[in-house]
């Protein structure tokens, strides 16, 4: 059923039953939509050594090879998905997109990874590389430093043997299915 109202104020309970049903269908398609959005990162490289997709695959592969939890690997895989839309605040977008499917700690880590990652290059563009230190007393400071050091910063290696995106399909399905609302 397609609803017919022109103003939401005129909607009926039958409309909302149909809308609710369609949301369940969309929810079940979520893993595929996330993967397709992630796949679009292959079109974004510019002057970087690898595409944003390859960077994300490398980060997730490193996390998987370190036996991190599925939720952590999922987080590494999608940490830069917001870059598809904009680079300026990509961490906020990425964090918002994964928030329903990861812990509050992993959400915080991705929300702030952009400023933590800047430690490695801000001095090269005339900015304060220690900007992350505003969070030095936060309980997730070290975990976010570790994410950037082990998974984000080194994942620009064109010769790295990363797993293929298809090898993460089951993980994406599992993580999103376990926390679907």
Domains of the chain: 13-178 (1.10.3210.10)
CA distance linking residue 43 with residue 87, whole number of Å: 14
Kindly give the confidence (pLDDT) of every residue in the chain, 181 residues in length, as a single tens digit, with 9 standing for 90 and above.
789 999 999 999 999 988 888 887 877 888 888 999 999 999 988 888 999 999 999 999 999 999 999 999 999 999 999 999 988 899 999 999 999 999 999 999 999 999 999 999 999 999 999 999 999 999 999 999 999 999 999 999 999 999 999 999 999 999 998 765 4
Q: What is the pTM of this model?
A: 0.90
R_g of the chain, CA atoms, integer Å: 19
Q: Within 13 Å, how many C-alpha atoms sit on residue 78's CB side? A: 31
């Amino acid at each position: 059923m397609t609803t017919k109202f022109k103003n939401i104020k005129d909607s009926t309970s039958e409309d909302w039953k149909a809308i609710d049903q369609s949301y369940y269908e969309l929810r079940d398609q979520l893993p595929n939509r996330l993967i397709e959005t992630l796949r679009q990162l292959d079109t974004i490289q510019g002057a970087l050594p690898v595409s944003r997709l390859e960077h994300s695959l490398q980060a997730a592969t490193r996390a998987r090879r370190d036996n991190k939890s599925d939720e952590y690997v999922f987080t590494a895989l999608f940490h830069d998905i917001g870059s598809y839309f904009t680079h300026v605040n990509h961490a906020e977008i990425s964090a918002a997109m994964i928030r329903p499917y990861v812990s509050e700690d992993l959400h915080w880590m991705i929300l702030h990874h952009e400023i933590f990652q800047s430690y490695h290059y801000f001095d090269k563009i005339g900015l304060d590389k220690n900007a992350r230190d505003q969070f030095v007393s936060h309980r997730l400071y070290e975990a976010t430093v570790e994410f950037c050091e082990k998974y984000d910063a080194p994942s620009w290696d064109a010769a790295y043997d990363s797993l293929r995106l298809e090898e993460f399909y089951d993980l994406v399905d599992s993580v999103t299915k376990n926390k679907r609302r």
